[in-house]
Structure 1
Amino acid sequence: MIKIIIADDQDLIRGSLRIVLRQEEDIEVVGVAGNGKEVIDMCKDLQPNVILMDINMPVMNGIEATGYIKEHFPDIQIIILTTFHDMDYVKDALKAGASGYLLKAMEPEDLASNIRLVHKGETLLPQEIAKIMVAEWAGGAPSPKNDTGKNANYGLTDRELDVLRLIVKGKNNREIAQSLYLAEGTVKNHISRIYSKLEVTDRVDVILRVQEENLLD
């Protein structure tokens, strides 16, 4: 059973999410909270597997709560609930340890499947959000390159760069394989090498690295 805490300062949002998840046999909502401090107080007693965390909450916001929880309860996975208006906070929450993002305007049937993915250790970054992040990166001022002695593209091959471009567009392994006419196993191998060369561990870190260093400029 996947134990969930829903943290949002709006009663309507909390209630709607609870109704949707009530229909899932393998998911149990063990608590609801209206601010980040309440979530932290619940973690020790309720021991949730996943927290659905709003960003803008009173007393303590979702970013601060995420950082505290990941430091003291590292096994708890946190999904940030956001709107397009909250995109300025995306990087901060990811750096604080969030496992990914869901838009509040998502289709209800997608909620449970995405929770299951995060519970298994996957990173969640919907294509809509990935596109916004990439658009902001492309339209912003170039970030200074670090002086580590590495090549500007970290030694990535042309094919690895092709895969990287699709990762930052929010494509999953199957979609990348279809786009590049590759086997999924080959795509996984390319992604493993990309992670190794960029010294990252998941898709979120990949996108952040691309944005910070303009790797695809």
Structure 2
Amino acid sequence: MSSLEEVWAYREETLYPQLFGEKHNGIFVLDHDDFTSLGAENVDPRWLHLGVFEFEPTPTRNSWLYVTSGGSTPWETEPADYNPEEYSWLGSELVIEVPSQPQDQWPIKLLRRLLAYNVLLAHGQFGEDKPLLDYGGRIPIGDVIREKGAIGLRCVVLAEPKHYPATAQLASGQFDFLHAVGITDSEKDWARAHSSEALLRLLEVHGGFPVTDPRRKAVA
């Protein structure tokens, strides 16, 4: 029977290096501001162990990849109650890829914000009936993505990845990778009219998916 610590260690020390490469930096943990900036009054100390890893390019991937760690940790389930066929805690981890390593590390700030938002969703901060982040979701992010020459990616859309496994298995249950892609306000409006899936297909045709390039041209 795997403990919480063993589940955590397997994800970070075995699973992630197998999927994303051996060379990585982190973990860049969340802090109180990540939660209080979203309106949280009470921050569970356990949430401050969640964070983001930065993976360098590999021989098979040119991009820098960032992935959260903690959304699938079974914080509220005893080992005796683990069910591999169910989802582990939030049931997801967030990923984003960028062409190069930004000096201000905005991908880390972005994923920390999205993960904090998902944790607060799970704990009813925005209403008990508001669902957790999932494929097709479109989330405003404000001015997190700031680079010279950027087109203004003020939202992200969450996609099911095609170039690495979309679902992973832990002893405590499974989880999905939610691949975040930066989009403009006009692209978000276009997706509202046509669907997130249609926008992702359009972005892929024009090189805007799966890697988020702040300097790309808008597609809608």
TM-score range, shorter chain: 0.3 to 0.5
- Which structure has more helix as a fraction of its residues? 1
Which structure: larger Rg?
1
Per chain length, whose mean CA-contact separation is higher, i.e. which structure has more relative contact order (CA < 8 Å, sep 6+)?
2
Normalised by the length of structure 1, the TM-score is 0.32
